[in-house]
Structure 1
Amino acid sequence: MTPRPGSLCSQTARRKLLAMFLALVLGTSIVLYAYPGAGGPATYAAYLYTRPRPTESRRKKPLPQHQQQQQQPPRTEPRRASVETPAGSRPGTQSSAVAASVAGPARSGEDAEPESEIPAGERRCLPQAIIIGVKKGGTRALLEFLRLHPDVRAAGSEPHFFDRNYQRGYDWYRSLMPPSLKGQLTMEKTPSYFVTREAPARIRAMADGNTKLLVVVRDPVTRAISDYTQTQSKRLGLPAFEELSFRNVSAGIVETHWNALRIGLYAEHLQRWLHYFSRKQFLFVSGERLVTDPATEVAHAQHFLGLRPLISEENFSFNTTKGFPCFKKAESQGQLHCLGKSKGRQHPNIKPEALSRLREFFQPFNRKFYQMVGHDFGWD
C-alpha cells in the first residue's frame, strides 16, 4: 500500500482548537452520566470531594536502583512509514537500494515546525505543481513570473525536500508553503530534483502521481557555461572551463562526469521520470524564449496549470543593461521588479574549438530529447 502524506492541506489553528474544545466537553459529559453507581453528576461530584487521598504509607516506594535499571522499557526508534513501488507506475523494476531510498517520510517528523496562526479561510497545502529543473535554465525567472498571478502561492526559497530533507516529513514540507485560499495553486521550485534519482518516485508518492511538473530547459552548452560562471564567482582559483570540460583537451574527449555537463543530458534524466509520470504531466519551458518572449512562455504555463490568462506582455519590460526582462504586477502602477544581481552575469570567453566539440557531443542527446518531448528547441 502506498503511504499518503495525510491531507494535502492543513487545518487552520482555529478549527483545531474548536475540535479540541468540543471533544473535551463531550468526553466530560459522558464520564459524568456514565459513572457507576448512578446518581448522575451530583453523586460523582460528591465522590470526588469525599474520596480518600493517598497517604505516604500507601504510596508506592521507589525500587532499588539496580531493579529500576532492569525494569526500564527498551528504547524504540521513531516509527517510519514505508513506501512501496506505486502500483500505477509504468513497467520497470527497482532495486532494493533504490526502493529503500524512496521510503516515505514520517507523517509528522520531529523537525516539523508548529503551524502558526493563519487567517480564517486559509490553510497550508502541499504543492500541486513543482518546477523540478533545470539549474541555470531560468527556474527563478519562471517562478517569479508566475507569482504575478493572484491565484498562485509559491514558496520563495528552494525547499530541497525530495532530495535533501525527505526524512523531515510532510508536515515540515507543508510548513514551508505559504497559506492559500481555496482555489489557489500552491507550488515550489527546486531545480536539482530533475537530476536526483530518488525524486521521481518520491514526488509520485506524495499525490498518487497527480503533481504537475515544469522543466525549464536551455542549450546544454550555454547552460554549462552559466553554471561554471556561477561557481567561479564563489570559488577562487577554479580551473578554466575547457580544462573541466575535457578529460583530454587536445583529443577533445568530453568529461561526462563533470556535473555542469551531465545536467545537460536531458534525455537521460527525463527517461527516469517517465517511469513514474505520463508525458502530459510535464511542461517544458524554453529558457531562451523565457528571456526573449516571456509573455508567450508564461501563457503556456498558465494554460498548463489551469490558471486564468491574466499575465500578458503588459507585465514585462526588457532591461537592456542586464539583458533580462523585468516584470510588474497589474496593480503596482508601473513599478518594475528585476531579478537579483546573480542574474545576467557576464560569461567568460570560451575557445571556439571547445564550444564546437561540446555542441557536437550534445547533438545526439538533444535530438533524442526533442523526440521525447515533441518539440525542437533549436540548439543544434
Structure 2
Amino acid sequence: MRDTAATSAQPAMIVMSIWCSSLSLSSRSLAIALVICVTLVYFSYSFNACLLASISRSLQQSNLRNLLALTSSPRNETNNAANSSSSNSSSSRNSSSTTGAPPAQTVTSSLDGAPKYQLLRQQGLRPSRHLPDTLIIGVKKSGTRALLEFIRLHPDVRAAGSEVHFFDRHYQRGLRWYRHHMPYTIEGQITMEKTPSYFVTKEVPQRVYHMNPATKLLIVVRDPVTRAISDYTQAASKKADMKLFEQLAFVNGSYSVVDTNWGPVKIGVYARYLERWLLYFPLSQLLFISGERLIMDPAYEIGRVQDFLGLKRVVTEKHFYFNATKGFPCLFKSEARSTPHCLGKTKGRNHPHIDPGAIERLREFYRPFNNKFYQLTGINFAWP
C-alpha cells in the first residue's frame, strides 16, 4: 500500500522539480535581460547627452565667432590710448554736467532684453556708449555724408546717424548729453560723429581738445568753387525765389569784388580755418580726404581712412558700384540695408548753369588761399 502511494507520488515530485527548475531559469533570464536593458538605456542616455552638449558648445562658439567677426577686432595701441583718455576726461566732466540724460548704466540695462545684447553679455561683452574717438569735422558739401556711409561699412566703426552739433550748438548741455547721443559699442570698436560745421566754427577746436586731445579728425575737401556752387544748389532747392548764384557771390553784381561774407564763398577759404585747428592738434591727427577722389575712386580714399584709424582694410572696391546716371558711387550694401542702393536723391544733384566769367573770377580769388592750404597740409589737390 505504501509502495503504491510512493510510486504514485514520484511523477508529481518530478513534475514539481521540473517546474521549479524552469521557474528558476526564467527568473535568471529575466534578471539578465533587465540588466542588459538598463545598461543599454544608460549608455544610450550618456551618448545622447554628450552629443547634445557637444552640439550646444559648437553652436555657442560659432555664434560668438560670427558676432565678433561682425562687431569687433583689435584696435591699435594709439586708439586704445585715445579711448582711455576720452573715458577719463568724460568721467571727470560728467560730475559737473547739468543735463537730463539718464546714466549710462540705466540706458545699457534697457537693452538686456534684446537677443543681440543678451548674447554679447553671455560672452562677457557689455555694450556701452562712449565719447567719439574720431570726428568728421567738415567740409560742408564736400562729401562728408558719403565718407560717413562708406566707412560705416566697417564692422569696427559705429557712428551717430545724424549730425549732433554738440561742439557748435549744444556745448552747454555737457559731455554727458553728448555721450548719450553716441551709438552703443563694445571693446575694440571706434565711435564716430559727423558735423561739417565744426570745421568753420571758431570755438570748436579748443572744445574738442578739452574733450580728448587724442581725437582723430577727418576733413573732406573739394575744389572751393565747385563746393560753393553745390552749397548754393542745396539752398536753392529749398527756396524757390532765391537770387542767382552770380548775384550772391559778388558785390553789386560786378565780378570784380567777391562777397567774402556770403557763407558758400567764405567756407571755401580752407586755410583760414585749418590754422585754428593746428593750434590745438598736430597735423598727424588730421586726415584730409579729396572729395573729388572720394567720388571717382571711393575704395582708395576709404583705404586711406582705414589705415589712418588703425583698422584692417575690410571696405574695398567690392562694396561699391558707380551710378552713371547720378555720376556718384553707390553701395552694394550698407549698415542699414543689405541690397544695392545709392545714398539719396540729393547726392549727385545737377548744378545750375553758372556764368563762366563768374567761375573764372572765383578761381582767381581762391588761388592764393588754395596754395596756402597746400602748404599747411603738404598736399597739392591740384584744383584749377
**Above 0.5 in TM-score?**
yes
Q: Does 1:241 align with 2:245?
A: yes
Deviation at 1:235, TM superposition (A): 1.3
Match of 2:192 in 1: 187
Q: Distance in 2 between matches of 1:6 and 1:129?
A: 14
CA distance in structure 1 between the partners assigned to 2:330 and 2:203 by the alignment:
35
Query: Which position in structure 2 is the counterpart of 1:139?
Result: 144
Q: 1:105 to 1:252 in 2, by over 3 A?
A: farther
Q: Does 1:211 align with 2:215?
A: yes
CA contact (8 A) 1:107 1:171 kept: no
What secondary structure, in the 3-state scheme, does the structure 2 residue paired with 1:256 have? coil
Distance 1:294 1:163, change over 3 A: same
Deviation at 1:323, TM superposition (A): 1.1
From the superposition, tell whether residues 238 and 111 of structure 1 become closer, same or farther in structure 2 (CA, over 3 Å): farther
**Contact 1:105/1:170, CA 8 A, preserved across alignment:** yes
- Confirm or deny: 8 A CA contact 1:130 1:212 kept in the other structure: yes
- How many angstroms apart in 2 are the aligned matches of 1:284 and 1:327? 22
Equivalent pair of 1:318/1:325 in contact (CA under 8 Å): yes
Match of 2:348 in 1: 344
Residue aligning to 2:99: 110
Name the CA distance, whole Å, in 1 between partners of 2:340 and 2:196. 26
Report the CA distance between 1:249 and its aligned residue: 2.9
Q: Are 1:198 and 2:203 matched, yes or no?
A: yes
Could you state the TM-score of these two structures normalised by the residue count of structure 2?
Answer: 0.70
Give the counterpart letter for 2:289 in structure 1: V
- Once the two structures are TM-superposed, the CA of residue 345 in structure 1 deviates from its matched residue by 1.3
Q: Secondary structure, in 3 states, of the residue corresponding to 2:184?
A: coil
1:169 aligns with 2:169: no
The one-letter amino acid of 2:198's match is Y
For residue 335 of structure 1, the aligned residue among 325, 334, 339 is 339
Aligned partner of 1:221 among 201, 214, 225: 225
Q: Give the residue type in structure 1 aligned to 2:356.
A: P
What residue in structure 1 maps to residue 305 of structure 2? 301
Q: Is contact 2:199–2:273 with CA below 8 Å preserved after alignment?
A: yes
Q: CA deviation at 1:349?
A: 0.1
Q: Which residue in 1 is equivalent to 2:375?
A: 371
Distance 2:208 2:343 in 1: 28
Structure 2 portions without partners, runs of 5+: 1-84, 112-116
User: Which has a greater percent of helix?
Assistant: 2
Cα 1:211/1:333, change in 2 over 3 Å: closer
Report how far residue 144 of structure 1 moved.
0.3
d(CA) in 2 for partners of 1:190 and 1:211? 14
Structure 1 runs of 4+ with >6 Å offset: 330-334
1:320 to partner: Cα distance: 1.0
- Deviation, 1:114, is 5.0
Q: Equivalent of 1:178, from 175, 180, 183?
A: 183
Structure 1 counterpart of 2:70? none
Against the structure 1 CA distance between its residues 106 and 333, is the aligned structure 2 distance closer, same or farther, given a 3 Å change threshold?
A: closer
CA-to-partner distance for each residue in 1:316-372, whole Å, 9 max, x for gaps?
000111111111349999721310112111100000100000000000000110111
Residue 163 of structure 2, aligned match among 158, 165, 180: 158
Distance in 1 (CA, whole Å) between partners of 2:258 and 2:305 is 35
Aligned to 2:128: 123
Larger Rg: 2
C-alpha RMSD of matched pairs (Å): 2.2
How far residue 149 of structure 1 moved from its aligned partner, in angstroms, is 0.2
Distance, in Å, in 2 between the alignment partners of 1:330 and 1:172 is: 28
Answer whether contact 1:303 1:309 (CA < 8 A) is retained. Answer: yes
Q: CA deviation at 1:202?
A: 0.1
Q: Is the Cα contact below 8 Å between 1:131 and 1:191 reproduced in 2?
A: yes
Secondary structure of 2:185's counterpart equals: coil
2:318 pairs with one of 314, 325, 328: 314
Residues in 1 aligned to 2:266 and 2:182: alpha-carbon distance in whole angstroms: 31
Partner of 2:267: 263
Contact 2:86 2:131 in 1 (8 A): no
Preserved contact between residue 137 and residue 218 of structure 1 (Cα < 8 Å):
yes
Cα-to-partner distance string for 1:164-197 (whole Å, 9 max, x where unaligned): 0001111110011111010000001000000000
Corresponding letter in the other structure for 1:244: L
Supply the AA of the counterpart residue of 2:130. C
- C-alpha change, 1:255 and 1:173, in structure 2 (3 Å) is same
CA contact (8 A) 2:152 2:335 kept: no
The answer to whether the 8 Å contact 2:225/2:363 transfers is yes
Quickly say closer, same or farther: Cα 1:270–1:105, change in 2 above 3 A.
farther
Aligned length in residues:
284
The reply to whether residue 275 of structure 1 matches residue 279 of structure 2 is yes
Q: Which residue of 2 aligns with 1:67?
A: none
CA contact (8 A) 2:270 2:373 kept: yes
Q: Distance in 2 between matches of 1:333 and 1:136?
A: 24
Partner of 1:358: 362
Residue by residue over 1:225-284, the C-alpha shift from the partner in whole angstroms, topping out at 9 and shown as x without a partner, is: 000000001112111000000013335200000010110000000001110000100000
CA contact (8 A) 1:328 1:336 kept: yes
Kept in 1, the 8 Å contact 2:251–2:258? The answer is yes
- Separation in 1, partners of 2:336, 2:186: 22
